[in-house]
C-alpha cells in the first residue's frame, strides 16, 4: 500500500504542477487582455442610429471599401484624388449641370462646407459634365461658395466606386481613414442637423 502511495506521489506532484502551470497561463492571458483593452482604442461606432430624417436613405456599406484611386481635376486642372484628403472627413458629391436634383441640393452642400469650415471636413463637389459644359459647371460652383470646382470630364469616378453608381447626384462620405462610411443616392439636405450629426459622429473618431 505504501509502495503504491510512494509510486503515485510523483504523478500527483506532476499533475499539480501542470494544473498550477495552466492556471498561471490563464491568469497571464486575462492580464494581457485587460492590458490590451486599456491600450487599444475602442472600436468605431456605427452610424445606424443616425439614418433618420434627411438621412433616412443613407446607405451604410456592409464592407469597408477604400476610396478609388482614380484622379479628377481641381480648379487649376491639376490631378487630385480622394485619398489626398486622408485624415479628414471627406464628403464627395458627384453631380452634373444637366441633373436638376444636383442643382437643387448644391446650396445645402455649400452650407455644410461653411458650417464645418473650421473642422477637418472637406466637401468635394465633383462635376461629371462633358468638356463642352465644363465652364458652365465652373460658373455654377462659383455661385455656391465656399465650394471649389472639381471636374471629372471622363466620368470615370462613378464607375470606379465599389459598387459603381449611375445615380445623380451620388454623395459619398469617407472617414478620416479614407474608408467609405456612407452613401446617398439622390438629393438631400446636407446643411441640416441630420447631415451634420453624421459628419460630427465621424469627426469624433480618431
Segment 122-161, tens digit of pLDDT: 999 999 999 999 999 999 999 999 999 999 999 999 999 9
In the numeric block, which cell numbers belong to residue 71? 484622379
Q: Based on the fold, state whether residues 153 and 126 are members of the same structural domain.
A: yes
Q: Is the dihedral of CA 104, 171, 188, 106 positive or negative?
A: negative
Q: What is the pLDDT of residues 78-135, one digit of tens each?
A: 999 999 999 999 999 999 999 999 999 999 999 999 999 999 999 999 999 999 999 9
Domain containing 31 equals 1-40
Q: Based on the fold, state whether residues 19 and 68 are members of the same structural domain.
A: no
Q: Based on the fold, state whether residues 135 and 36 are members of the same structural domain.
A: no
Q: Based on the fold, state whether residues 123 and 179 are members of the same structural domain.
A: yes
The b/e string for 27-48 (b: 16+ C-beta within 10 A; e otherwise) is eeeeeeeeeeeeeeeeebeebe
Q: Which residues pair with 64 in a beta bridge?
A: none
State the pLDDT at residue 45.
Answer: 53
Residue 82, domain CATH: 3.40.30.10
Q: Based on the fold, state whether residues 35 and 127 are members of the same structural domain.
A: no
Q: What is the pLDDT of residues 34-74, one digit of tens each?
A: 333 333 333 345 899 999 999 999 999 988 899 999 999 99
Q: Based on the fold, state whether residues 19 and 92 are members of the same structural domain.
A: no
- Confidence bin at 33 (pLDDT 50/70/90): very low
Q: Based on the fold, state whether residues 17 and 56 are members of the same structural domain.
A: no
Query: 188 with 57: CB under 8 angstroms?
Result: yes
Mean pLDDT to the nearest integer, 3-14 = 46
Amino acid at each position: 500500500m505504501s509502495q503504491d502511495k510512494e509510486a503515485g506521489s510523483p504523478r500527483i506532484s506532476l499533475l499539480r504542477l501542470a494544473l498550477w502551470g495552466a492556471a498561471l497561463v490563464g491568469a497571464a492571458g486575462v492580464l494581457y487582455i485587460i492590458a490590451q483593452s486599456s491600450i487599444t482604442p475602442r472600436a468605431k461606432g456605427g452610424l445606424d442610429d443616425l439614418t433618420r430624417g434627411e438621412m433616412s436613405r443613407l446607405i451604410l456599406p456592409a464592407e469597408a471599401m477604400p476610396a478609388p484611386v482614380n484622379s479628377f481635376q481641381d480648379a487649376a486642372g491639376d490631378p487630385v484624388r480622394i485619398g489626398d484628403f486622408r485624415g479628414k472627413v471627406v464628403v464627395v458629391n458627384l453631380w452634373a449641370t444637366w441633373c436638376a436634383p444636383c442643382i437643387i441640393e448644391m446650396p445645402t452642400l455649400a452650407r455644410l462646407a461653411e458650417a464645418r469650415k473650421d473642422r477637418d471636413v472637406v466637401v468635394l463637389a465633383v462635376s461629371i459634365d462633358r468638356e463642352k459644359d465644363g465652364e458652365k459647371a465652373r460658373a455654377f460652383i462659383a455661385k455656391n461658395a465656399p465650394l471649389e470646382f472639381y471636374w471629372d470630364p471622363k466620368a470615370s469616378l462613378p464607375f470606379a466606386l465599389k459598387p459603381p453608381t449611375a445615380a445623380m447626384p451620388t454623395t459619398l462620405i469617407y472617414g478620416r481613414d479614407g474608408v467609405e462610411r456612407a452613401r446617398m443616392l439622390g438629393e438631400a439636405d446636407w446643411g441640416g442637423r441630420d447631415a451634420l450629426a453624421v459628419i460630427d459622429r465621424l469627426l469624433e473618431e480618431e
